[in-house]
A and B are shown apart, each in its own frame.
Chain A
Amino acid sequence: MSLSIRNLQKSYTEPGGHRLPILNVEAFDIATGEQVVLVGSSGGGKTTLLNVIAGITSADSGTVTIDGVNVRSLPEAARDRFRAERIGYVFQTFHLLPAFSALENVLLGMSFSGRKTDRHHAAELLDRVGLGHRLHHRPTKLSVGEQQRVAVARSLANRPSLLLADEPTANVDSANQDVILDLIRDACSENNVSLLMVTHSPDVASKFDRVEKLSDFNKPEGAA
């Protein structure tokens, strides 16, 4: 099992001090190499769930186990290192660093893993997403679709076992949507990477064998 979530609870404190439950997941699993799409209403907690899985946001309780490691039990620094080494993350708004070229953005993803940065591998990844000729272009010189392709290449830089994608096609034109989706899915298939992708698009969801509706397994109103 690549990802296993048990009794996960997360709530936010509102300005008045009132606690607002967001996540209450009893059990959620993704097998190694499995590709899962997650759908749900806006504000339902999809991004929070991805952030909790990635260790970016702390949960209140429960376990998040990736490749047999309970991420929540790790100290913060170890959790950061684990995220760098094992988890790839594609954001809706790409989140590329404007000061760095396409190649440097991919290399940056490698820098924090503690491994030696592999320039050749980074260039290969960019070539794989069709940007072999734009290695040294900065994000501002790339189209929106190209920027997201750089982000996909960056997410795969450290050969992760789990790829989280938060509406990766939401901000790109329809022509690029399929390209990016295929890139992500093919890359995951080729490398046996588990994929959890959030989307609002029924078209995107329809391409996946397993589609999970967040509200089906997340019951925040039932949180203690």
Chain B
Amino acid sequence: MTLLGIAWKSMRQRSLSSSLTALSVALGVMLMVSVLVTNAIITDTFRQKGTGFNLIVSSPGSDLATVLSCVYRIGLPGEPLPWRFYEEDILKHPYVEWAIPMTMGDSTQEGSFPIVGTTAQYFGMEYEPDKRFRIKGDLPRGPFDAIIGDRVARENGWDLGSEFSLIHGGQDDHVHDEKFKVVGILGLTGTANDKTVFVNLDGFFSMAGHDKPATEAIKRLKDFGYEVTAEQEQTLLKAAAELAHHGEEEEGHDDHAGHDHSGHFHSLPNDLKEVSFLLVRTKRPAQGIALTAQINEGVRAMATNPIRPMARFLDNFVGSIRTVLLFLTALIVIVAGVGIFVSIYNSMADRKREIAIMRALGAQRVTVMLIILGESLLLCLSGGLLGFLLGHGLVFIAAPFIEATAGILVDPFKFELLEFALLPMLLVMAIVAGVLPGLAAYRTDVASSLSD
């Protein structure tokens, strides 16, 4: 019969007390595991590991808000940039290898998933190092073609050929008449792309309300320092008037339900187009720094490294919260450890005779001490194991809720390396909690305890 076997039998004798003590450890460990795993999920979700682009160009503002909006699709983008800035200042810049325009602001009518207007080039870049998009179906070629993320497909029940409408991102929240058709579905990426609907940029621009009013567009171009000739101004004003006239004609149709707008495509003059973000890849990484400095020198636009703001945010904010939560849960586990100590120590008075019998049968002082320590160890480890399972069970149960409310994809089987630290921590706690009762067992006077 092993010492742990003897300890187990003794524990079983006080099954209610032992179970409650182990449960208190389990609850502490459960909280710790859930904090660790949740933190790991949040960190993994928001810590950019690097993508195909090394700069995000947007209008000036908060770099963190820019990354959250552009990469994580959380929050709305700031003031858009003129298309001419994309074509003349970025695309033609000698440092730029490629740049992908992105427009944002609208959402799907069903499920409120964010809409991103972009080009097919977006799907050719790496979304994470060495990871490229897998697409079921085709790239968006027609103006009203769309590619949807895996989660959008699952939640909305959309498949290739499905059609959907967009809600305008302005204050009116009206539903656009145009219908987009799903031509491709992205494989699961574990990124915000899963909850995004990508539409063809041309189709996006052709929708009512997505063109900049001509007078504002002209002013904006001039603010950016571009020359706008009188002839160009007239052309823009004329084009805008034609678009407005066409829009009024369409609104004149009473029977909207029976009128198909999905095939209506109105090409927009480039100077009436705007983009929310430009994803830029420089020819050499070092050029990213130089280009950032150049862009940020003025007040027209801002270049942001997609990794640094999130790393700063995670380290300063999430990291601090994690430390506080871990500290609190560690306290809970320590309190559970004190519970083990109290439970075993209180039982020692009743167990003096039991220990004395073992000693009379030839058990050495160290042996009975080890039996008590073994009991503490079993309580800690069984509680810890239960807590580990409960913690992951909690994450498993909470995963759909977190996804639904926070939009964060939660892997219910996520394992945090720091969880390995729980084992030595529990071992130390078992020893600390068991050492005093163990010493009491060590010091038990055999003859007097047997005669009591």
Contact = CB atoms under 8 A, between A and B. Distances in A.
B359 A56 contact: yes
Given A57-B447, A95-B353, 4 more contacts: A76-B364, A80-B365, A95-B360, A108-B1
Nearest to B353: A95
Q: How large is the interface on A (under 10, 10 to 19, 20 to 34, 35 or more residues)?
A: 20 to 34
Contacts of A110: 1
A192 interface: no
A108 B6 contact: yes
Given A77-B366, A81-B362, A85-B362, A95 B1 contact: no
A167 interface: no
A207 B267 CA distance: 121
Contacts of B10: 99
A109 B361 CA distance: 6
Contacts of B450: 56, 91, 95
A56 B360 contact: yes
Contacts of A89: 360-361
Interface stretch (A66-74, A111-119, A181-189): A111-119
A130 interface: no
B411 interface: no
B358 A108 contact: yes
Given A57-B447, A111-B1, A104 B362 contact: no
Interface in A75-116: 76-77, 80-81, 83-85, 89, 91, 95-100, 104, 107-113
A4 interface: no
A65 interface: no
Interface secondary structure of B, over-half rule? helix
B364 A77 contact: yes
15 contacts: A48-B447, A57-B447, A76-B364, A80-B365, A84-B361, A84-B362, A84-B363, A85-B362, A97-B9, A97-B354, A97-B357, A99-B13, A108-B6, A109-B361, A111-B1
Given A56-B446, A56-B447, A95-B450, A108 B361 contact: yes
Given A56-B446, A111-B6, A80 B1 contact: no
Interface in B361-393: 361-367
A112 B360 CA distance: 10
A99 B13 CA distance: 5
A112 B363 contact: yes
Contact of B9 (A81, A99, A109): A99
Nearest to A85: B362
Would you list the 9 A-B pairs with minimal beta carbon distance, nearest first? Answer: A84-B362, A99-B13, A112-B362, A112-B363, A111-B1, A99-B9, A80-B364, A95-B357, A57-B447
Interface of B: 1, 6, 9-10, 12-13, 353-354, 357-367, 446-447, 450-451
A186 B450 CA distance: 27
B254 to A, nearest CB: 87
A80 B354 contact: no
Contacts of B13: 98-99
A37 to B, nearest CB: 21
B9 A100 contact: yes
B361 A112 contact: yes
A46 to B, nearest CB: 12
A110 B446 CA distance: 19
Nearest to B446: A56
Contacts of B357: 95-97
B354 A83 contact: no
Contact of A104 (B1, B359, B361): B1
A135 to B, nearest CB: 14
Contact of A117 (B1, B9, B360): B1
A177 interface: no
A152 B451 CA distance: 19
B367 A112 contact: yes
A51 B447 contact: yes
Nearest to A157: B361
A54 interface: yes
Contacts of B359: 56, 80
A98 B354 CA distance: 9
Nearest to A83: B362
Nearest to B2: A111
Contacts of A48: 447
A81 B366 CA distance: 12
Given A51-B447, A91-B450, A104 B360 contact: no
Contacts of B12: 99
A59 to B, nearest CB: 12
Nearest to A111: B1
Scoring A54, A77, A95 by chain B CB atoms within 10 A of each residue's CB, the highest score goes to A95
A57 B364 CA distance: 14
A154 B354 CA distance: 15
Contacts of A98: 13
Contacts of B6: 108, 111
A33 to B, nearest CB: 22
A96 B357 CA distance: 8
Interface in A128-168: 154, 158
B353 A80 contact: no
A161 to B, nearest CB: 14
B278 to A, nearest CB: 73
A94 to B, nearest CB: 10
Contacts of A108: 1, 6, 358, 361
A123 to B, nearest CB: 14
B363 A80 contact: yes
B268 to A, nearest CB: 84
Scoring A48, A56, A107 by chain B CB atoms within 10 A of each residue's CB, the highest score goes to A56
A81 B363 CA distance: 7
B350 to A, nearest CB: 11
A107 B9 CA distance: 13
Interface in A25-68: 47-48, 51, 54, 56-57
